[in-house]
Amino acid sequence: MKQWNWRLISTHAILIVGVIFMSLPVWVAFATSTHSAEHILRNGLQFWPGSELLKTYNEVLFVDGGVMKSVLGTTMLKNSLILGFGFAIGKVIVSMLAAYAIVYFRFKLAVPLFWIIFMTLLLPLEVRIIPSYEVMASLGLLDTHFGLIVPLIASATGTFFFRQFFRSVPDELLEAARLDGATAWGFFIDILVPLSKTMIAAILIIMFVVGWNQYLWPLIMTTKEENYTLVIGIKQIYQILAEGGELPQYQKAFALTILATLPPVLVVLVFQNWFVKGLVESEK
Amino acid sequence: MSKVQLTNVKKTYPNGAVAVRGVDMEIQSGEFIVFVGPSGCGKSTLLRMVAGLESITDGQIMIDDQLMNDISPADRDVAMVFQNYALYPHMTVRGNMSYGLKNRGMPKEEINQRVSDAAKMLRIGDFLDRQPNELSGGQRQRVAMGRAIVREPKVFLFDEPLSNLDAKLRVQMRIEIKRLQRRMNVTSIYVTHDQTEAMTLADRLAVINDGKIEQMGTPIDLYNDPATLFVASFIGSPQVNLLPATFDGQHLISGDVKLTGFTDLPVSTDLVLGIRPDELHLDDGGQFPMRVDIVEQHGSDNLIYGGILGAMNEGEEETEFCFKAGQDMLPDLESTLMLGFNAERAMVFSKDSGERLR
């Protein structure tokens, strides 16, 4: 009994240390963001919340010139959400359709095509960033949401996941649907999409976080401040801090950072159940 | 009310495997046809060719005198019940049953009418708003049949629909399928490897072996008058007793056993004698001495298994026979029974070709 207690205590001690280690930086960032710039400049990082919470966040989100020269925090938040969701939804749609074609339409090139798609994993965006930029620039799509999202949505991983999933769907379902007069499109929409919903949720979450955290591509693609995403905004504001000149607005930089972490956390919390189901359950 | 006609239908897979080697068949309107055979004999392939799920390599399939070879499964007006039910897991029972009708653009009221009629017939009315994973195997099977019934198709196709059910339920559903088919009077093709199912359901039975039809006819004809050794041994439970033998002009000889009553058989070829277990009877002057090995009591009758003493054996220890007797017949193990049979009812086959010799 005694031994068991010690075990419990030591296990939990380790867990608690882990939790503190992981969450302390986030907490410090949040606590610091609630103090005034002068206070931070004089006393350094803060471990306890101060009195400037509403003022700081209000300025960052809603006051013109509060954080950047001309762009509001809400605008950057909106841009980030568009990028995150556009990226995730686009990837899901494109990779589902690609997997559908590869698995169900047994055309001759299906297998080689699949492996070609798979090989693009070896060519991440960073490798092809200059040609991609060139294409978007010559199409006049710089500084547009469309140009920001479309070059990113082809997804080998997504295609691979959906391919594996579709292959596990029993053939009899397709045959029953064919006898029931379903068209190719009908089978996809009426049967496959509802069957894959946990899978879709899982991929949506992963891809949303990846899209949200995109840095290099939006940095290159956007030139106007009004198109900045939060991640770019954070980089810009820290650059201003580094360049100096005026009183560094550390609290605003931290506030922006906190704001940038919130949406992915929310998405994960909301879709968590589906996410786990999508990974472990085969609902057939 | 539709007849189905197969003319020299063949199926060869792209890898060269031959599944169906030329099948001719005419199925009358409203008939219940069962394809029966061992696994891998091509019976399911043939059914799937009628459904349009497999392409036809050669030959013709006609439904109501209309060539079906290049018509898509949806437009053939056939409905199929699959072995694993193939219900759409995310749809309710109602959704499963109405999906095919919706795709055909049927008005809502008519769909509802048909679904509730079929549900009443199959006694699944209480489950219409449940999902398949909330149903038992028997209920799922009913839903799968309901999905076929609401379509009011020209032909019903059943692909081993009962093989996932337990024995008791299988008998129940078998009777129900038969009753339903009688009532709706729709031409049906049913595939099974279970000879009891085949015997009890079929108006006519097609025994399929190695991609060919061995014999086709009413179940009782096939039982009483099989054309080949394969049919004789496949149809009937317990299995027909087989005894390798040769003919010397007067007697059928198997080892030390000499049987009289046979004439007009080819001399000096290998033959096989077949006698149904229920054709044997106790007879002090009988020609088979059988050493009792096992007695199985089935209730109304007993199956007595044992070796025929002195009979020719082919690598095996003894030629094993089964004798079907009444429930009072309980011989001691290792005792010897003398069994007689009626030569008129015995069947002789050529060993090489499997042909029945008459």
Residues B211, B54: contact at Cβ < 8 Å?
A: no
Q: Are A173 and B86 an interchain contact pair (Cβ–Cβ within 8 Å)?
A: yes
Q: Is residue A43 part of a domain?
A: no
Q: What does pTM read for this prediction?
A: 0.81
Within 10 A of A122 (CB to CB), how many other CB atoms are there? 8
Element (H, E) at A103: helix A73-104
Pair B206, B286 in one domain: no
What is the number of structural domains in chain A? 1
Q: Is residue A205 part of a domain?
A: yes
Q: How far is CA B243 from CA B36, B237, B260, B261, B267, in A?
A: 25, 17, 14, 16, 16
Pair B197, B254 in one domain: no
Let me know the angle formed at the C-alpha of B272 by B267 and B277, rounded to the nearest 5 degrees: 140
Determine the pLDDT at residue A228: 85
Note the pLDDT tens digit of each residue in B68-116: 999 999 999 999 999 988 999 999 999 999 999 999 999 999 999 999 9
Q: Is residue B237 part of a domain?
A: no
- pLDDT above 70 covers what percent of chain B? 98
Residues of A in contact with B53 (CB under 8 A): 175, 178-179
Q: Is residue A79 part of a domain?
A: yes
Mean pLDDT for back-to-back runs of 10 residues, chain A (284 residues): 77 94 92 86 84 82 71 85 92 93 86 86 85 90 87 87 91 92 92 90 88 88 84 81 71 86 87 73 49
Pair B269, B123 in one domain: no
- At B270, which amino acid appears? D
Interface confidence, given as ipTM, is: 0.85
Could you tell me the two tokens for B296?
């199985």
Residue of chain A whose alpha carbon sits nearest to that of B101: A180
Determine the pLDDT at residue A246: 67
Determine the pLDDT at residue A284: 41
Residues of B in contact with A196 (CB under 8 A): none
pLDDT at B199 over 50: yes
pLDDT band at B221 (very low <50, low <70, confident <90, very high): very high
Phi and psi for B316 in degrees, rounded to 5? -85, 165
Secondary structure of residue A283 in the 3-state scheme:
coil
Q: Could you tell me which residues come within 8 angstroms of residue A39 by beta carbon, excluding any fewer than 6 positions away?
A: A46, A50
Pair B105, B247 in one domain: no
Determine the pLDDT at residue A93: 94
Residues B80, A176: contact at Cβ < 8 Å?
A: yes
Q: Are B73 and A178 an interchain contact pair (Cβ–Cβ within 8 Å)?
A: yes
Whose tokens are 């096989």? That residue is: B272
Determine the pLDDT at residue A66: 62
Note the pLDDT tens digit of each residue in B30-79: 999 999 999 889 999 999 999 999 999 999 999 999 999 999 999 999 99
DSSP secondary-structure letter at B261? S
**How large is the average pLDDT for residues B185-197?**
92
- pLDDT above 90 covers what percent of chain B? 62
For the domain that residue A148 is a member of, what is the CATH number? 1.10.3720.10
Pair B67, B205 in one domain: yes
User: What is the rounded distance in angstroms from the CA atom of residue B204 to the CA atom of residue B220?
Assistant: 9
Measured in angstroms, the CA of A56 and the nearest CA of chain B are apart by 49
Pair B128, B181 in one domain: yes
Torsion angle, alpha carbons of A7, A8, A13, A19, to 10: 130
For the domain that residue B66 is a member of, what is the CATH number? 3.40.50.300
pLDDT at B226 over 80: yes
Question: What is the average pLDDT score of chain B?
Answer: 90
**How large is the average pLDDT for residues B182-207?**
92
Of the candidates B94, B58, B97, B56, the residue with the CA atom closest to the CA atom of residue B73: B56
pLDDT at B317 over 80: no
C-alpha of B86 from chain center: 23
Determine the pLDDT at residue A283: 47
What is the number of structural domains in chain B? 2
Residue of chain A whose alpha carbon sits nearest to that of B77: A179
Please, which residues bridge with residue B212 across strands?
B209
Element (H, E) at B147: helix B137-149
Pair B144, B174 in one domain: yes
Tell which of B229, B252, B275 closes a domain.
Answer: B229
Q: Residue B268 belongs to what domain range?
A: 242-357
pLDDT at B314 over 80: no
Q: Is residue B49 part of a domain?
A: yes
Mutation test of the interface with chain A: which of B80, B141, B149, choosing the one with the most A Cβ atoms within 10 A? B80
- At B321, which amino acid appears? F
Q: How far is CA B37 from CA A42, B162, B230, in A?
A: 91, 16, 10
Q: Residue A267 belongs to what domain range?
A: 63-280
Note the pLDDT tens digit of each residue in B111-147: 999 999 999 988 888 989 999 989 988 899 999 999 9
Tell which of B229, B253, B282 closes a domain.
Answer: B229
pLDDT at B318 over 80: no
Overall residue count recorded for chain A in this entry: 284
Q: Is residue A53 part of a domain?
A: no
Pair B102, B11 in one domain: yes
Tell which of B192, B207, B229 closes a domain.
Answer: B229
Mutation test of the interface with chain B: which of A173, A179, A185, choosing the one with the most B Cβ atoms within 10 A? A179
Note the pLDDT tens digit of each residue in B238-295: 899 998 888 888 888 888 888 888 888 888 788 999 999 999 988 888 888 899 999 9
